[in-house]
Amino acid sequence: MAKDKNGKTCDKTVFEDSLDEYQGEGEAKVKNVRSAKRRKTVNALFMAVIGVCAAVLVVCIVLIARNLSDKERGREVYDEAAERFDPEAILDEDASQTEDDEIPLSLYEKLKKMSEKKDDTNEESGESGVSLDNLRASITWLKQINDDVVGWIYVEDTTINYPLMRSTNGDDDYYLDHAYNGEYLSVGSIYMVSNCDPVPTNNYNTLIYGHNVVGGAMFHDVMKFLEQDFFDTHKVFIYTLDGVYVYQPFSIYKTTSDYKYIQTQFYNEQEYLDYAAEMKSNSSLYSDLSISSGDTMITLSTCTGTGVVSNARYSLHAKLIDFIG
């Protein structure tokens, strides 16, 4: 028998039970303290996560608002330019739709009609029957704003209707985030690379870049050429002070920015012809056009806007089929 502090005997079992109870209470208190600390830690982490999420949300809202603001500003800037440049403004009345035309004429058909009228004009009268004055005046107005303006690029039934830029100081990145008027703008400009001559026919391949802007701006509508019917029936027009260059697409495909589709310089014509043949073979759509000796082309490049590959691009190649000047 065990004795207590007063010398009285006590039951060992009772003593041990009391000791166990005391230890149990201590362990419970320790567990409660630990549990409270864990809850405090979890709450702190939860609040920290909430704080981070809130901060990310605020940043996202700011970026989205800025993006929307930039897009709206982009529309304003380029709508102002479009008010001064009408792709059909150079057409005279006789080149417009007539009752004899059973189906609506495309812009190219109207331009051809205008060109044929010019050919039929009596040379002795000194009248051309056609005037490019409106065209030249509009481009001259744009060049007064920025001498980097090369001309104007246009595709019917799309939003592709913009000034065409080329950096005279060799800084091709400048127009990735600047408008034709020099204003900072995230949608940038449509521009040809600076190692290309501003006269398209002086290049084997004239490379032209533009952003794929969600909502349809800039080169977003290059994707319309992925449909065979659109690909077959639509052309790319480049207006310059010299006249109008008309291009017919012959290849479109998805690629990456490090592929040689961006090549603009060639050692000789044969290297260019081999390049053109390869670009045509890449096409996801059929075309009966081919590139032969003496032919020139343009390449329109834009990001795909989708997928996880950041350097994914759409490449549209088009052959010069006519010049109207």
Q: Over the stretch 241-267, which tens digit does the pLDDT of each residue have?
A: 999 999 999 999 999 999 999 999 999
Query: Does residue 239 carry a pLDDT above 90?
Result: yes
Residue 302: name the closest of 204, 182, 189, 185 by CA. 189
Q: Are residues 137 and 281 in the same domain?
A: yes
Q: Are residues 48 and 154 in the same domain?
A: no
What pLDDT is attached to residue 205? Answer: 98
Q: Which residue has the tokens 């949300």?
A: 57
Angle at 217 between CA 220 and CA 76, to 5 degrees: 170
Instruction: Read off the CATH number of the domain in which 266 is found.
Output: 2.40.260.10
| SS3 of residue 248 by DSSP | strand
Query: Does residue 56 carry a pLDDT above 60?
Result: no
The token duo for 130 is 């056609």
What pLDDT is attached to residue 91? Answer: 67
The CA distance from 271 to 278, in Å, is 11
- Could you tell me what percent of the chain has a pLDDT over 70? 69
Q: Are residues 145 and 62 in the same domain?
A: no
Q: Are residues 52 and 163 in the same domain?
A: no
Query: Does residue 156 carry a pLDDT above 80?
Result: yes
Q: What is the DSSP letter of 178?
A: B
* Total number of domains in the chain: 2
Q: Are residues 62 and 197 in the same domain?
A: no
What pLDDT is attached to residue 137? Answer: 85
Q: Are residues 185 and 296 in the same domain?
A: yes
Q: Are residues 60 and 138 in the same domain?
A: no
The CA distance from 74 to 215, in Å, is 12
What pLDDT is attached to residue 130? Answer: 46
pLDDT in tens, 20-51: 565 566 666 666 666 767 777 767 776 666 76
The CA distance from 9 to 35, in Å, is 40
Residue 92: name the closest of 113, 123, 67 by CA. 113
pLDDT band, residue 63 (cuts 50/70/90): very low
Asked if residue 287 is part of any domain, the answer here is: yes
Q: How far is CA 168 from the centre of its chain?
A: 22
| SS3 of residue 119 by DSSP | helix
Query: Does residue 135 carry a pLDDT above 60?
Result: yes
Torsion of CA 74, 80, 86, 90, to 10 degrees: -130
What pLDDT is attached to residue 17? Answer: 59
The token duo for 150 is 């090369």
pLDDT in tens, 74-83: 678 898 888 8
Q: Mean pLDDT over residues 143-152, rounded? A: 96
Q: How far is CA 217 from the centre of its chain?
A: 8
Q: What is the tally of helices (H) and strands (E) in the chain? A: 5, 12
CA distances (Å), 293 to each of 246, 268, 271, in order? 18, 11, 11
pLDDT band, residue 310 (cuts 50/70/90): confident
CB 194 within 8 A of CB 264: no
What pLDDT is attached to residue 39? Answer: 72
Mean pLDDT of the chain: 82
Tell me phi and psi for residue 143, to 5 degrees: -70, -25
Residue 253: name the closest of 284, 220, 209, 207 by CA. 284
Residue 224 identity: K
Asked if residue 248 is part of any domain, the answer here is: yes
CB 320 within 8 A of CB 225: no
Q: Are residues 30 and 152 in the same domain?
A: no
Asked if residue 79 is part of any domain, the answer here is: no
Residue 35: give the domain boundaries. 2-66
What pLDDT is attached to residue 128? Answer: 45
Q: Are residues 53 and 197 in the same domain?
A: no
Q: Are residues 56 and 166 in the same domain?
A: no
Which residue, 44, 66, 88, sits at the end of a domain? Answer: 66
Query: Does residue 140 carry a pLDDT above 80?
Result: yes
Q: Are residues 272 and 148 in the same domain?
A: yes
Q: Are residues 161 and 27 in the same domain?
A: no
